[in-house]
Amino acid sequence: MTRQYRITLLPGDGIGPEILAVTVDILKLIGTQLDIDFQFQEALIGGSAIDETGKPLPKETLQMCRNSDAVLLAAIGGYKWDNLPREQRPETGLLAIRAGLNLFANLRPATILPQLIDASSLKPEIVEGVDIMVVRELTGGIYFGEPKGIFETETGEKRGVNTMAYRESEIDRIAKVAFETAQKRSGKLCSVDKANVLDVSQLWRDRVTSMAEKYPDVELSHLYVDNAAMQLVREPKQFDTIVTGNLFGDILSDAAAMLTGSIGMLPSASLGLEKPGLFEPVHGSAPDIAGQDKANPLAQVLSAAMMLRYGLNEAKAATRLEKAVLEALAQGYRTGDIMSQGMKSVGCKAMGEVLLRILES
Ligand code: NAD
């Protein structure tokens, strides 16, 4: 029987429209092959939304996203909007959509593809076989805690304040996502905190530890964030799934991502308790190469694979997409960002055509 999904597309700015167009063509093909009826609808976000409506996240966009089964976002931002006040900046639209859809869990895989092992800045023997999933809490912690701001003290000196705070319920729901993610992978979960110094981290550690009883098939460990950062570059293969708070996750997921050496290859998923999830590449809008058919569309394509797996429960379609990406790399096709000697250089559109050809064969 045909499965029907309503997908909201948010092309955004810069290279966004280019990489999303390639991805949509691929999804359409997979849909016809696997009897999936994707109903795509497009909406504005970021700089392009500011230009048309004055707001980085128009109300209509949020409403359309809420009424869909999944949201596929490309990237937002660009020089043109860099000097606007914060509430009118493209990035504000990104924070607003995450909050508006209550997306509290961010999943970022860092997988070393054998074809791209030389792209890593670490030695091949250190990174070979690395396959990490960072589960980052996204809507709490120090980025949102109150009080925050820059205040004047009694002496007239300014004092900047942010507050790192987590409620038990916030920790429990992200821990649940992390335990379930670890179950789908190799069953190893490492929780990262700073419980030796921070009270908020002690509560984090206590809750995660008590939740472990419900998941006897998951092996739980804990690391302090400073040690975790060190271990990630020293011996990354020891990690499978990592769960951590907003600030630590922001930093560690970038460090884990760079193990792979290629920002144009990295997808992400942001999930809430209910649909829709938001699926987007880790990279930004790359204004320096926008409109030149130079962008690597693979992070966007792999984000669509995460949408299929984690957002729509279409694992077969996700695997098919991931295999096509591996096959394109195995056949030697490379965009500029991952190009190396002896490989076949292609642009964004041509990479899409290679994937379509592989999927059709
Ligand atoms: P960026 O990720 O856009 O670019 C960093 C470098 O990587 C650039 O040299 C770029 O050309 C390259 N690059 C990125 N994606 C690529 C791809 N798919 N293929 C080939 N090369 C790629 O980061 P930045 O330069 O710091 O930011 C540019 C804009 O993007 C800013 O306005 C920033 O705020 C925004 N941004 C948006 C997001 C998002 O939409 N989630 C994330 C990060 C940055």
Centre of ligand 1 to C-alpha 14, Å, is 9
Centre of ligand 1 to C-alpha 75, Å, is 8
- Indicate if ligand 1 lies below 6 Å from the C-beta of 77: yes
161, 174 contact by CB (below 8 A): no
Whether the per-residue pLDDT at 38 is higher than 90: the answer is yes
- Indicate if ligand 1 lies below 6 Å from the C-beta of 263: yes
Return the residue whose CA atom lies nearest to atom 10 of ligand 1: 286
Q: Where does the pLDDT of residue 350 fall: very low under 50, low under 70, confident under 90, or very high at 90 and above?
A: very high
356, 26 contact by CB (below 8 A): yes
Whether the per-residue pLDDT at 196 is higher than 90: the answer is yes
Return the residue whose CA atom lies nearest to atom 13 of ligand 1: 286
Centre of ligand 1 to C-alpha 148, Å, is 28
Return the residue whose CA atom lies nearest to atom 7 of ligand 1: 286
Q: What residue ranges define each of the domains in the chain, with the CATH number in brackets?
A: 1-101+276-361 (3.40.718.10), 112-261 (3.40.718.10)
Average pLDDT score over the chain: 95
- Indicate if ligand 1 lies below 6 Å from the C-beta of 78: yes
Whether the per-residue pLDDT at 263 is higher than 90: the answer is no
The arithmetic mean of pLDDT across residues 232-240, rounded, is: 97
- Indicate if ligand 1 lies below 6 Å from the C-beta of 13: no
The pTM for the full model equals 0.90
13, 285 contact by CB (below 8 A): yes
pLDDT attached to residue 4: 98
Distances (CA, A) of 242 to 158, 186, 219, 263: 37, 12, 12, 20
Model confidence pLDDT, tens digit, residues 132-169? 999 999 999 999 899 999 999 999 999 999 999 999 99
- Indicate if ligand 1 lies below 6 Å from the C-beta of 286: yes
Which ligand 1 atom is the nearest neighbour of the CA of 73?
40
- Indicate if ligand 1 lies below 6 Å from the C-beta of 20: no
Q: Where does the pLDDT of residue 80 fall: very low under 50, low under 70, confident under 90, or very high at 90 and above?
A: very high
Separation of alpha carbons 19 and 286, rounded Å: 11
Which ligand 1 atom is the nearest neighbour of the CA of 74?
40
pLDDT attached to residue 278: 98
Whether the per-residue pLDDT at 261 is higher than 80: the answer is no
Residue 50: exposure state from Cβ atoms within 10 A (0-12, 13-18, ≥19): buried
Separation of alpha carbons 73 and 331, rounded Å: 28
Task: Name the residues annotated as catalytic.
Answer: 143, 194, 226, 250, 254
- Indicate if ligand 1 lies below 6 Å from the C-beta of 267: no
- Indicate if ligand 1 lies below 6 Å from the C-beta of 347: no
Q: Which of 48, 283, 296, 300 to mutate to test the pocket of ligand 1 (most atoms within 8 A of CB)?
A: 283
Dihedral over Cα of 213, 214, 215, 216: its sign: positive
pLDDT attached to residue 81: 95
pLDDT attached to residue 264: 85
Centre of ligand 1 to C-alpha 18, Å, is 14
Separation of alpha carbons 333 and 355, rounded Å: 10
Q: Where does the pLDDT of residue 229 fall: very low under 50, low under 70, confident under 90, or very high at 90 and above?
A: very high
Model confidence pLDDT, tens digit, residues 275-331? 999 999 999 999 999 999 999 999 999 999 999 999 999 999 999 999 999 999 999
Centre of ligand 1 to C-alpha 259, Å, is 17
Share of the chain above pLDDT 90, in %: 89
- Indicate if ligand 1 lies below 6 Å from the C-beta of 58: no
